[in-house]
Amino acid sequence: MNKRPLAFFAHHQGRGHANRIMAILEHIPDDRPVTIMTAAPSQFDNRPRDATMVKLPNMIGAPSRSPALHDQPTPEVMHCVPLGVEEMRQHMGSIAETLRKADPALFVIDVSAEIALLSRIMSVPAVTIRMHGDREDVGHVAGYEACVAMLAPFDERMEQASYPPRLRERTFYTGGLCTTRAPLLEKGEARAKLGLPEDRTMTLVIAGGGGSGTPYAPLTVAARAEPETQWLVAGPVHREGHETDFGNLQELGWIDNLTYYLCAADRVIASAGDNTVHEIARAAKPFLCIPEWRYFDEQQAKARELERLGAATYRETWPASIPEWQRALSETDALDAGVLASLHDDDAARKAAHWLEEQATRLWAVS
């Protein structure tokens, strides 16, 4: 008997949603058809298996067609639903038509509270991907309640106390899901491959790709706070024009061998992006977490949970003085990196796929 498909919605901002879905797809049984809806289908060009791709219109920033429609208030149960937006009508209509035609066993939403509500209205069972943040508002809770279950791609110990127990009971925790597959190396081997000295303390800063980049000025203060340390910065930085360069502070720019640098480092400074956290956990490095701005304080909330567990040192903003950098780095060096390492699970993507297959089968079983 032919199986109903699994349908996926991937939010197109950033590559994290697509990469997470592709990691899970690798473990979905071959006899289960897959449909993927996204406004950025090119992010799935390297998907590990066949799938029906549905390109959605990009509705972000599209205008309403009249001032009066634009001025209508947003209902509390929703977050971003302007009226009179043609691209939004086409976007949601494409999702609705795909769900109608595909009649999926399960619709996995990564992420959108409004689309979870649409799925329920269309009588399609949905699973939403859990994310950290201040999401106790009626819109998020309604989206969760509309789903048959939630899937959290992180360790249950990282869950927030504010997440309602009734929803926690309906959430499957995969363990820390990292989409990076590059092999881990011993520190000395990684430094040899990168041509880095063996006997020097090295701090790796993973600069965020969002916005205009990580501010460079705080890093120059860090370089002065530890002049004997080699500071390596991977990713884009933002300069304001008044910074002084230092010989122990090196910009790497975008690199395709980040895992080697992680393995070579003595400590890591980065944001609280999902995959970034689990990359650092996978490499088992002391972690100073400085979150980036995200909607609903997603990264701040995650960083607080990491600090609560003793898995990372947390600073809400970049240290601005030499003494504060020295305190933050001393606290980071005192961490037991094994705590962070325990939050990563090599098998998380397989567990997620297996659980989704179980739900798709259970929900449609006929006695």
Contacts of 200 (CB under 8 A, 6+ apart): 228, 229, 230
pLDDT per position in the chain (367 positions), as tens?
A: 689 999 999 998 778 999 999 999 999 999 999 999 999 999 999 999 999 999 999 988 899 999 999 999 999 999 989 999 999 999 999 999 999 999 999 999 999 999 999 999 999 999 999 999 999 999 999 999 999 999 999 999 999 999 999 999 999 999 999 999 999 999 999 999 999 999 999 999 999 755 557 899 999 999 999 999 999 999 999 999 899 999 999 999 999 999 999 999 999 999 999 999 999 999 999 999 999 999 999 999 999 999 999 999 999 999 999 999 999 999 999 999 999 999 999 999 999 999 999 999 999 999 7
For CATH 3.40.50.2000, the residue range(s) in the chain are 6-177+346-363, 187-341
Give me the CATH topology for the region 187-341: Rossmann fold (3.40.50)
Element (H, E) at 107: strand 106-110
Residue 212 has a pLDDT of: 56
pTM assigned to the model: 0.95
Element (H, E) at 69: helix 67-70
- The CATH homologous superfamily to which domain 6-177+346-363 belongs is Glycogen Phosphorylase B; (3.40.50.2000)
SS3 call for 171: strand
Residue 13 has a pLDDT of: 78
